[in-house]
Amino acid sequence: MSRNVAIVGATGAVGQELLSILAQRKFPMDSLKLLASKNSAGKKQTFNGKELTIEELTHDSFKGIDIVLSSAGGSISKEFVPSAVKAGAIVIDNTSYFRMDPNVPLVVPEVNPEDIKKNKGIIANPNCTTIIMSLPLFPLYKAFGLQRVTVATYQAASGAGARAMDELARESVAVVEGNEFNRTVFPYQYAFNLFPHNAPFNDGTEAKAKVKAPKGYCEEEWKMVVETRKIFHDDAIRVAPTCVRVPVLRAHSEAINVQFKKKTSVEEIYAVLSKAPNVVILEDPANNRWPMPIDVSGKDPVFVGRIREDLSQENTFDIWVVGDQIRKGAALNAIQIAELL
């Protein structure tokens, strides 16, 4: 079987991470095609010691391609993914456009790998915050059942791409030096500041299913609700998210409050998570040391810690979770799907 792979959005933050992980995991390929906008066409990219030329993305780019890793924005996926499928490729799409399409599986390999078999040419990669939350949440869901989940996210600049990371770095220097700064990515000062997520307050997803977010919820928050239900195959799961941008370059954090159906304990939760795939417990209570973004940056697992009982409600617990948004929250999850394919 040939394995000809194409990356759509090869020059972006996730595209560059895809290249890095493909090399690290020695993904078996016969060829690799790098696709990007017209502005990037002709530029060179080194991969596994070989120099590749970035090509302009067109509707004719997918001839002979078996797997497409797409991460260039919802509008690009809307336009070009159908052409890739028509050409015979299977597309693993990292944008929100197809996620809630009932005919497209939404997959986290540690949770619902069997859904990959249901694909009709497209497999959707979930939102980064959903992926990071699902890794510790799903084994607990299987063990104890979920009554409800309240989650506050602390989202790094990496979630908005390479330009956002660059803007945060440059703005931080400008603020420290007392200089004016003309921001182009974020609407407000991001350095040394935080604000509720600046995702739009319209449709909860860009999907064909046209799922509408309730009043007061931004897209980023509603994605966590509907995507979790779809991945877990349980429409009864209740999730209440609040998404916040924090001035961290890379890796998202989440404070998760979970009420379980079955009676459990802190010790039992630790026991379940200690065996959960791609979950690492990191903590040193004596030194007030818990998972931080710098601990997970560039790493595959999601780190958890600070598990404690919520004394205000019966059978409710708090869990602190940190994961690399570019890696497990995007590129690694897509490549894990490709490996299963």
Q: Would the CA dihedral through 194, 199, 200, 202 be positive or negative? A: negative
Our CA angle for 252, 152, 143, nearest 5°, is 90
Q: What are phi and psi of 28, to 5 degrees?
A: -75, 115
d(C-alpha 224, C-alpha 242), whole Å: 10
120-154 in b/e form (b: 16+ CB < 10 A) is: ebbbbbbbbbbbbbbbbbbbbbebbebbebbbebb
Question: 90 forms bridges with which residues in the sheet?
Answer: 67
Longest dimension (CA), the chain: 60
Residue 218 is among the residues annotated as catalytic for this protein: no
Catalytic residue among 197, 218, 243, 252: 252
Residue 197 annotated to the active site: no
Distance in angstroms (rounded) separating the CA atoms of residues 255 and 239: 13
Catalytic residue of the set 59, 128, 233, 243: 128
Burial of 333 (0-12, 13-18, 19+ CB in 10 A): buried
Tokens coding 36: 């990007």
Catalytic residue positions, numbered: 128, 252
